[in-house]
Structure 1
Amino acid sequence: MNSAPATSDSHPPAPIWRRLMAMLYDSLLCIALVFVVTAVYTGLHKLLINIGLFSDRYATIAEPGGSIGYDPVLTLVLAGSLWLFFGFFWRRAGQTLGMQTWRIRVENADGSVVSWSQALLRIVAGVLSWATFGLGWLWQWLDPQHRSWTDRLSGSRTVQLPKRNKKQ
């Protein structure tokens, strides 16, 4: 699906507390994703060592009690996994599971879903926002359109959705 139904400008910007609660919810999912991806990666890594496709240097790292070194491939795999996680949800409907719970959505000005490159820019801006002790999120209080760094850098916006009417 390339775009969500277009929305009007009537949706207000999502308040910071809703964004933070959605981030908390999604961080739990991301932690689980990182554990699963690391376990699969480690299992494949060990398998490749056992069949002789990796050198002794990698075998030493993988041994119990062996020196734990930095693995740039694992770092790239984890970063890619998180980009795919957020990109999948943002491209599908503009919402991660946490965002659905807190009724917020990421969208372009015309209401369409963000692109893969916008998803990557949002992630980079999110990392920068946290690296500056949350300044990127607090920025929305200074911005006339209440956009955070993630919104501004990616050219998108985060809006609050209305409550759905329950059908009886």
Structure 2
Amino acid sequence: MKITTGPVGWWRRMFAFLYELLLLIAVVLLAGGISQGVFQLLTGLPVTALTGHLVASTLHFIWVMSVAFAYCAWCWRGGQTLAMRTWRICLVKSDGSSLGWREVAIRFSVVTLCTLPCAPFWIFARHHADLRIVAWLLTGLFFLPFLWALLDKERRFLHDRLAGTQLLIAPPRV
């Protein structure tokens, strides 16, 4: 695939991110549903009992994160997710080559560390006022990659800078 030399604009990346978030939520919900179904089949307990089992909850979390990683790795190693195709964005290493496992792992780890903790703490903060400051700090962490892109000289997100990747404009499909 031929790629133009220009980097992707901030707004195009934001819209692609929002679209990607919708797709990833669907993938995670499907993986979670499968995990819950297996739990129910193996234990005979209702799905609500999953939270009461530390081992089952841990395995559920590992499974869902593994599926999310597999989805991202499969798409990123190919250069584009469905959202990236829609918004004509291509993900490559800084030298223009395809991503390897190292870049995928770094990118996924940084994105996960910045985004994953935010939602649960806001849920807890609704019921525990003393956790609101933590929720606000984690919200800042959530926005860190986007703010980083505004300050970065090449306008890369934090996860792209750390992984040595970049987003470029892809040519229109014919």
What is aligned with 1:41? 35
| Equivalent in 50, 57, 61 of residue 75 of structure 1 | 61
Aligned counterparts of 2:29 and 2:152: Cα–Cα separation in 1? 37
Deviant stretches of 4+, over 6 Å: none
CA-CA distance at 1:109 after TM superposition: 2.3
Structure ID, larger Rg? 1
Call closer, same or farther: CA 1:35–1:151 in 2, change over 3 Å: same
In the aligned structure 2, how far is the partner of 1:75 from the partner of 1:148?
A: 26
Structure with greater helix percent: 2
1:154 Cα offset (Å): 0.6
- Is residue 92–residue 166 contact of structure 2 (8 Å, CA) maintained in 1? yes
Distance 1:162 1:67 in 2: 47
TM-score normalised per structure 2: 0.74
Are the aligned partners of 1:6 and 1:111 in contact in 2 as well (CA < 8 Å)?
no
Query: AA paired with 2:31?
Result: V
Report the Cα distance in structure 2 between the residues aligned to 1:96 and 1:149, rounded to whole angstroms.
19
| 64 and 145 in structure 1: CA distance in 2 versus 1, 3 angstrom threshold | closer
1:121 and 1:154 in contact (8 A); partners too: yes
What is the correspondence of 1:123-138 to structure 2 with a 5 Å cutoff?
123-130=108-115, 131=138, 132-138=141-147
Count of aligned residue pairs for this structure pair? 147
CA contact (8 A) 1:105 1:159 kept: yes
Structure 1 unaligned segments of length 5 or more: list them: 51-61
The match for 2:18 is 24
Deviation of 1:129 (Å): 4.2
Report SS of the residue matched to 2:91: strand
Secondary structure, counterpart of 2:51 in structure 1: coil
Q: Which residue of 2 aligns with 1:59?
A: none
TM-score (norm: length of structure 1): 0.76
* SS, match of residue 134 in structure 1: helix
Distance 2:146 2:17 in 1: 11
RMSD value, Cα: 2.2
The CA deviation at 1:95 is 0.6
- 1:102-117 equivalences under 5 Å are 102-117=87-102
